[in-house]
Amino acid sequence: MEPKLCKKGHSYFPVLNAKGKLKECPECNRVRARAWNASNKERHRARSKKWVENNRERHLAKVASDYASNRKERIAKTIAWQRANPDKYNAKQRAWCKANLGKMNAKTAKRHAAKMQRTPKWLTNQHYEQIKEIYLSANALGLTVDHIVPLQGANVSGLHVPWNLRLLPASINYAKGNKTGGV
Ligand SMILES: [Zn+2]
C-alpha cells in the first residue's frame, strides 16, 4: 500500500472504517481531538474520568508503565530543580517537615528501631568505631550512608554492621530506597 498525503500534508496509510469509508488522516484526527479537548475542558475531563472508571485495569497499567519509563528522567529533573533552586527547595522541605512532624518523627523512630534491632549484640567496640568512621566520612564528603542489604527490605533484612554499609550520593540512595524500601 502506498502512503497518502492528506490536505495538510501529513503522510499516512489510508484505512477504511466499518462503513467502508476512508478514515481521516491520524495526525489530523489527533490535532482535531486536541483542539476539541482544549475548548471543551469540562466535557473532556468528564469523558476521561468515565473512561478511567470503565477501564480501571488498563488505566492502572498505563500509569504504572508511564511511571516506570519516566522514572529516571523525573528523578533527574527533580534533582536538577533542587540544585538550581536550593532556597526554594529548603523552604519546601522545611514546610513539609513542619506540616508532617508526626510522620517525620515516626519515620525517624522506625528507622532507629530497625537499626537497633538489626545491630547484632556481638559487634565489638572496633566495629562500632568503624561504623562511626563511615558516618563521619559521609558527612565530610556530603554523601549518605547506604545499607547494601536494606534493614527493612521486603524479602531480606540486612544488618547494621560495617560491612553492610557504603557511601552513596544522596540522589542514588533516594532512588534505591524507592525501589527496595531500604533504609
Ligand atoms: Zn493530516
Q: What is the pLDDT of residues 136-153, one digit of tens each?
A: 888 888 888 888 988 887
Give the alpha-carbon dihedral of 105, 131, 82, 171, to 10 degrees: -110
CA of 37 to the centre of ligand 1 (A): 18
Q: How far is the centre of ligand 1, averaged over its atoms, from the C-alpha of 12 (Å)?
A: 8
Q: Is the pLDDT of residue 181 over 60?
A: no
How does pLDDT run across 4-55, given as a tens digit for each residue?
899 999 999 988 888 888 888 999 999 999 999 999 999 999 999 999 999 9
What are the residues whose beta carbon lies below 5 Å from ligand 1 (ion)? 6, 8, 10, 25, 27-28
Instruction: Reply yes or no on whether the pLDDT at 180 is more than 50.
Output: no
Q: What are 66-121's pLDDT values in tens digits?
A: 878 887 888 888 889 988 998 998 898 888 888 877 777 777 777 887 787 888 98
Can you give the pLDDT at residue 162? 93
pLDDT at residue number 177: 54
Q: Name the phi and psi angles at 16, rounded to 5.
A: -90, 145
Determine the pLDDT at residue 174: 59
Q: Which residues, 6+ apart, have CB-to-CB distance to 78 below 8 Å? A: none
Domain ranges of the chain: 102-183
Cα 28 to ligand 1 centroid, rounded to whole Å? 4
Q: How big, in percent rounded to 5, are the helix, strand and coil portions of the chain?
A: 65, 10, 25
**Residue 28's pLDDT is what?**
94
Instruction: Give yes or no for residue 173 having a pLDDT over 70.
Output: no
pLDDT at residue 125 in the model: 92
CA–CA distance, 163 with 127 (Å, rounded to integer): 9
How far away, in angstroms, is 34 Cα from ligand 1 center? 14
Report DSSP state, residue 163. Answer: G
pLDDT at 122: 92
